[in-house]
A and B are shown apart, each in its own frame.
Chain A
Amino acid sequence: MTAPSRIVFEYAAHDDLVGALRRVRAEGYSHVEVYTPFPSDEIDEELPGPPTPVGAVMLLGGVIGGCGAYFMEWYAAHDYPYNSGGRPLNSWPAFIPVTFELTVLCSAIFGLLGLLWLCRLPRLDHPLFSLPQFIRASQDRFFLAIRTDDPRFTPLGLERLLEDSHPLSKQEVTS
């Protein structure tokens, strides 16, 4: 399967991008991408797509880390039984600190790896990087990209829809 090309609009201001994004969403476009120098709640509300599962991934990491840590302590305490002041082998209050630390540790590691996996990073090459003005997507420009495999996409329709949204440039990026 060949990847679809994108029509990329460049905007100078955050609010211009939000306006354009609202317009394409109202028309029912769903294969829409935005590229911005910083995250924005307004853009996130308009952007299609499911909510992020990164929280669930981190919860999973925490559960694995916590249960694993407690099991390790329980196992070690029984594998090498040691009477410390008459305390039971399964001295659960004393086992909590390490359990807590490893819960946090595994959750954070799952968070980092989950974030990279969900974003499909590291990926040093991307078709958009071939666009000369895209270098400012990290600086001070806001980009809207409509994929041509969008079921609502027609070149003329998109042109009409966004012609008065004040884009600084419009380019097609093939991949």
Chain B
Amino acid sequence: MPESRYNQPTVPPSAEPLVGPGETMERINATISRVPLTHPAPRFWWIGFGIAFVLVLVLLTAVSWLFLKGVGIWGINIPVAWGFAITNFVWWIGIGHAGTFISAFLLLLHQHWRTSINRMTEAMTLFAVACAGMFPLLHLGRPQYFYWLLPYPDTMGLWPQWRSPLVWDVFAVSTYFTVSLIFWYIGLIPDLAVMRDRAPTLLRRRIYGILSLGWRGDGRHWRHYEKAYLILAGLATPLVVSVHSVVGMDFAVAIVPGWHSTIFPPYFVAGAIFSGFAMVLTITIPLRAVYGLKHYITDRHLELMAKILMATGWIVAYGYFSEFFMAWISGDTFERYIPINRATGAYWPEYWTLVICNVLVPQALWWRRIRRTPALLFVISLLVNVGMWVERYVIVVTSLHRDFVPSSWGMFSGTRWDWATFIGSVGLFFALMYLFVRYIPSISITEMKRMVVTGEETE
């Protein structure tokens, strides 16, 4: 009822539409499919992909050297045996979580603004989980035996230890990757059919045709499709909570001071969504500018994401506060020592970096002007990414380097191979993102058309 809206003198501020004016079905088809089909802005793509690909080569070098020499090339030793690998693992898994949060959780809550960013963030989830899954395997020391983690009737008569969160992790992460892939692919099938019918060459028509499985938009197929998609969203939502809870329990079941806390699972989940939304902003802000997608990923989308970033940032800040409080109220000497050591000990620069990046910087988002300025949001999102990596580093390293007996205290610092592996995984992530943008429609064409035609979901 567009007329009646104009008759009302007071319109709530949320009446700003989620789609730019003048959109038609064909314009959505053309604008979104243009990116994979005609490869606009090739300079942006080749330079970005080129840098990312060089970093992938760095990763391959670092991993090859690791396989030749063993984990001794990293800075890890006793007492700090977890180092960069686990920091990177937790950080990457966390980044993946925002993708599932946007695509599944917001779908169930009828938050229609998710429509234009869910495809991209699901891709982000897949690539981030792929980067994450690499690190525990590299950290094994003898990665060729990784399959011992899987349950199979081996000749030694051994089974995995089911009471260990590290075994839960294997199941949680592999399930998470598989379910994310299925969810992403099912969402993609109708769009691959759109691409099939627009592709200019026979080869591309065939490739997109095979990938779309011969989808033809049959009404009865849509009936199955919609139900399956909705149930998958319902499954993915508790899954995403379970995955980072299990990661949190990797720490919490240990008796190491600073880890042994029931706050860890929820605190990790909040941190995951916080860092993930930062990465979503890092990716979408340049992407929508370069490829002319501002009609679909509007300033309002960025503002809504900024609000979630601030809200989850406060949950994380509450987690930091409760760590201090629980340490104090426990009365335990070792627990009380940990927060003091974090703030004033050898790793104080890292600790205060995380406080500045994760607690102070997001407070800028109270101002609407800042939420509405993409360049500033981009800078904030980068700082939050850094802050969350440092947070994981501080959790892993500071607790291990000062445990119960001073004779077992030690220091940790990353070697050049630690850094090469980490930077290389960032390169792998962005190289995969660049390939995704190049070959697959990065916004759901089908859902955007539905939103524009049926109209009720554009606000």
Residue positions of A touching B, CB distance < 8 A? 14, 33-40, 43-44, 47, 49, 51-52, 54-55, 58, 72-73, 76-77, 79-80, 82, 84, 87, 91, 94-95, 97-98, 100-102, 104-105, 107-109, 111-112, 114-116, 118-119, 121-126, 128-129, 134-140
Chain B residues lying within 8 Å of A79, measured Cβ to Cβ, are: 157, 159
Q: Which of B170-191 contact A (CB under 8 A)?
A: 171-172, 174-175, 178-179, 182-183, 185-186, 190
Quick one: given A104-B235, A139-B25, are A115 and B151 in contact (CB under 8 Å)? no
User: Which residues does chain A contribute within 8 Å of B183, judged by CB atoms?
Assistant: 108
Minimum CB–CB distance from B172 to chain A (whole Å) comes to 5
Q: Which residues of A contact B21 (CB under 8 A)?
A: none
Q: How far is the CB of A12 from chain B (nearest CB, A)?
A: 10
In whole angstroms, what is the CA distance A129 to B25 when docked?
A: 21
**Contact yes or no, B193 A40, CB < 8 A:** no
Contact between B224 and A118 (Cβ–Cβ < 8 Å)?
Answer: yes
Instruction: Evaluate whether A37 and B446 lie within 8 angstroms (CB atoms) in the complex, with A98-B168, A101-B171, A121-B215 already known.
Output: yes
B204 in the interface, Cβ–Cβ < 8 Å?
Answer: no
* A-chain residues with CB within 8 Å of residue B167 when the two chains form the complex: 98
Closest 3 CB pairs of A and B: A76-B159, A122-B213, A140-B25
Contact of A47 with B223 in the complex, beta carbons under 8 Å? yes
Q: Are B213 and A84 in contact (CB under 8 A)?
A: no
Instruction: Give chain B residues whose Cβ lies under 8 Å from the Cβ of A87.
Output: 163
Identify which of B160, B190, B231 contacts A76 (C-beta below 8 A): B160
Partner pick for A14 among B179, B185, B454, CB 8 A cutoff:
B454
Q: How far is the CB of B444 from chain A (nearest CB, A)?
A: 10
A102 to B175, CA, bound (A): 7
B219 at the interface (CB under 8 A from A): yes
* B165 surroundings in chain A (CB, below 8 A): 97
| Most chain B CB within a 10 A radius of its CB, from A35, A39, A77, A80 | A39
Q: A49-B223, A108-B235, A111-B182 are in contact. Are A139 and B29 (CB under 8 A)?
A: yes
With a CB–CB cut-off of 8 A, which chain A residues contact B232?
Answer: 108, 111
Interface centre among B168, B222, B228, B235 (most CB of A within 10 A): B228
Known: A114-B228, A139-B197. A109 touches B182 (CB 8 A): yes
A103 to chain B, nearest CB (A): 9
Question: Which residue of A is nearest B245, CB measured?
Answer: A97
B260, CB-defined interface residue at 8 Å: no
Q: List 9 A-B contacts (CB under 8 A).
A: A52-B224, A95-B162, A97-B172, A107-B235, A126-B214, A134-B216, A137-B217, A139-B25, A139-B26
Most buried by B among A72, A107, A108: A108
Contacts of B227 in A (CB 8 A): 52, 54-55
In the bound complex, residues from chain B placing their C-beta under 8 Å from that of A134 are: 216
Quote the shortest CB–CB distance from B35 to chain A (angstroms): 17
Cα A138 to Cα B246 with chains together (Å)? 42
Residues of B within 8 Å of A98, CB to CB, are 162, 167-168, 171
Q: How far is the CB of B206 from chain A (nearest CB, A)?
A: 9
CA distance A104 to B185 in the complex (A): 17
Is there an interface contact between B25 and A97, defined as CB atoms closer than 8 Å? no
Name the A residues within 8 Å of B236 (CB-CB).
104
Pair B26/A112 contact, Cβ less than 8 Å: no
Contact with A along B146-171 (1 / 0, CB 8 A): 00000100000111111101011001
Q: In the complex, which of the residues A72, A101, A124, A137 contacts B214, with contact meaning CB atoms closer than 8 Å?
A: A124
A37-B449, A122-B210, A139-B198 are known; give 4 further A-B pairs, CB within 8 A.
A55-B227, A84-B161, A87-B163, A111-B228
Asked if B163 and A121 make an inter-chain contact with CB atoms under 8 angstroms apart, the answer reads no
Q: Is the CB of A97 within 8 A of B171?
A: yes
- The answer for the CA separation of A102 and B242 in the assembled complex, in Å, is 12
Tell me the bound Cα distance from A136 to B197 in angstroms: 7
Write the B224-246 contact mask toward A (1 if CB under 8 angstroms, else 0). Answer: 11111001100110110010001
The winner among B159, B160, B174, B226 for most chain A CB atoms within 10 A is B159
Nearest chain A residue, comparing its CB with the CB of B168? A97
Report the minimal beta-carbon distance from B259 to chain A, rounded to whole angstroms.
18
Contact of A36 among B29, B151, B185, B219 (CB under 8 A): B219
Known: A52-B224, A79-B159. A121 touches B213 (CB 8 A): yes
Shortest beta-carbon distance, B293 to chain A, in Å?
19
Asked if B43 CB lies within 8 Å of chain A CBs, one says no
Select A34's contact among B163, B213, B218, beta carbons within 8 Å.
B218
Pick the most buried of A107, A112, A129: most chain B CB atoms within 10 A of its CB: A112
Shortest C-beta distance, B422 to chain A (Å), equals 27
Alpha-carbon gap, A92 to B61, bound state (A): 44
Contact B157 A38 (CB under 8 A): no
Of the listed residues A82, A101, A128, the one surrounded by the most CB atoms of chain B closer than 10 A to its CB is A101
B39: CB under 8 A from chain A? no
CB distance from A127 to the nearest CB of B (A): 10
Which residues of A have CB within 8 Å of B449? 37-38, 140
A135 close to B219 (CB less than 8 A):
no
Contact check, A91 vs B163: say whether CB atoms are below 8 A apart: yes
Q: How far apart sit A61 and B128, CA to CA, in the bound complex (Å)?
A: 27
Closest to B195 in A: A138
Within B425-449, the residues touching A (CB, 8 Å) are: 446-447, 449
